[in-house]
Amino acid sequence: MMMIGMCVLAATTARAQNTVMINPIKDNTLYQDATGALSNGAGKHFFAGKTATGAIRRGLVKFDLIEFVPPNSTVIEATLRMNMSRTITGEHEVALHRLLSDWGEGDSAAPGEEGGGTAASPGDATWLHTFFNTLLWNAAGGDFVTLPSASQVVSVLGFYTWGSTPEMVADVQSWVDDPSTNFGWLLMGNENLSSTAKRFDTRENLTPENHPLLTITYLPPTAIGDQANQFPAEFELAQNYPNPFNPSTRIRFTLHRAAQAVLTVYDAAGKTITTLVNGKLPAATHTVTFEARDMSSGVYFYRLEVENASAVRKMLLVR
């Protein structure tokens, strides 16, 4: 997964934050089943946790960001609100995990309270299949990042919000930068005990306000026109490598003449994290290693200031 860096001049006018609220384009439930024959693509609910008989349920949800968040935008916050509409248990955590494979939503619709699922339709995600009955997960139960992006304790009926967390922001930022990696999140409940399942309403639910809602606050890209004409010829700032990174990355810049240079790293809120370079350097290509071992996942920026000009690029730390 590669992220194209954004380079802007320091003199550019400050950008205003925008906030968008997005409903899913698909959702489904993975019903633990040895044959991989159960699903609920068109159901009004999806599930996370374990049933009274010990069968696992995992929810899937995806949001299409392309028409809502412009390319090269910088994500500041991301939250997910969902309505929990049925439970037979008390407090249990439900976590979001970033999915690593694409999956499908067919026209299967489970009867009754939908907890048992129904026969999968062509194109449905199941416990074994990304798309029933031709394509498989790499591992039964879904392909996802082991560490959660966010978690929330869910107890009584009602609305619950996940985030904003640095990991959720990093997920959404990666989807903005490379939409081909956007497979959404998997909802995982408490799978250590039985009778922990929580039911949430899907995009097909008859009550629109109960649909899952992803809220994103972002900085739109800065219009800088012809960079070749505006970018200072005296220096060049390259995209860090690797990017995304964990826990370290290298930042390279070139000075075409000796000059006073300052290289600073700061977070999405504009808070300075560290100054990597501050002094007069000779004409050469310089490489600096940035260590982020004690930092949270998220979007960060590095700025090179050379005399009266500066350039900024963004980088993504993913734990």
Same domain, 82 and 189: yes
Of 119 and 232, the structure prediction assigns the larger pLDDT to 119
The residue assigned the tokens 């240079």 is 261
Same domain, 148 and 29: yes
Please report the pLDDT score of residue 53 as a whole number: 97
The verdict on residue 126 lying in a domain is: yes
Among 40-49, 56-65, 149-158, 245-254, where is mean pLDDT lowest? 245-254
Mean pLDDT of the chain: 90
First to last CA, the chain: 14
Same domain, 312 and 203: no
Of 167 and 10, the structure prediction assigns the larger pLDDT to 167
Same domain, 146 and 119: yes
In sign, the C-alpha dihedral spanning 199, 201, 203, 206 is positive
Report the distance separating Cα 15 and Cα 114, nearest Å. 46
In sign, the C-alpha dihedral spanning 271, 299, 176, 104 is negative
Q: pLDDT per residue over 285-316, tens digit each?
A: 899 999 999 899 989 999 998 987 888 899 99
Please report the pLDDT score of residue 288 as a whole number: 94
Of 140 and 17, the structure prediction assigns the larger pLDDT to 140
Same domain, 140 and 271: no
CATH number of the domain bearing residue 257: 2.60.40.1930
Q: pLDDT per residue over 200-210, tens digit each?
A: 999 999 999 99
Q: Is the pLDDT of residue 111 over 60?
A: yes
The verdict on residue 8 lying in a domain is: no
Same domain, 253 and 308: yes
Same domain, 29 and 113: yes
Please report the pLDDT score of residue 319 as a whole number: 79
Which of 219, 248, 268 terminates a domain? The answer is 219
Report the distance separating Cα 248 and Cα 145, nearest Å. 20
pTM: 0.71
Percent of the chain whose pLDDT exceeds 90: 75
Do 58 and 29 touch, CB atoms closer than 8 A? Answer: yes
Do 1 and 181 touch, CB atoms closer than 8 A? Answer: yes
Please report the pLDDT score of residue 222 as a whole number: 61
β-pairing verdict for 248-255 and 235-237: antiparallel
The verdict on residue 3 lying in a domain is: no
Q: Is the pLDDT of residue 55 over 70?
A: yes
The verdict on residue 124 lying in a domain is: yes
The verdict on residue 2 lying in a domain is: no
Q: Is the pLDDT of residue 225 over 50?
A: no
Q: pLDDT per residue over 144-163, tens digit each?
A: 999 999 999 999 999 999 99
Among 1-5, 47-51, 189-193, 219-223, where is mean pLDDT lowest? 1-5
247 contact partners, CB below 8 Å, separation of at least 6: 291, 292, 293, 317
Q: How confident is the model at residue 13 (pLDDT cuts 50, 70, 90)?
A: very low
Q: How confident is the model at residue 83 (pLDDT cuts 50, 70, 90)?
A: very high
| Residue 250 structural domain | 227-317
Q: pLDDT per residue over 179-193, tens digit each?
A: 999 999 999 999 999
Q: pLDDT per residue over 247-262, tens digit each?
A: 999 999 988 888 999 9
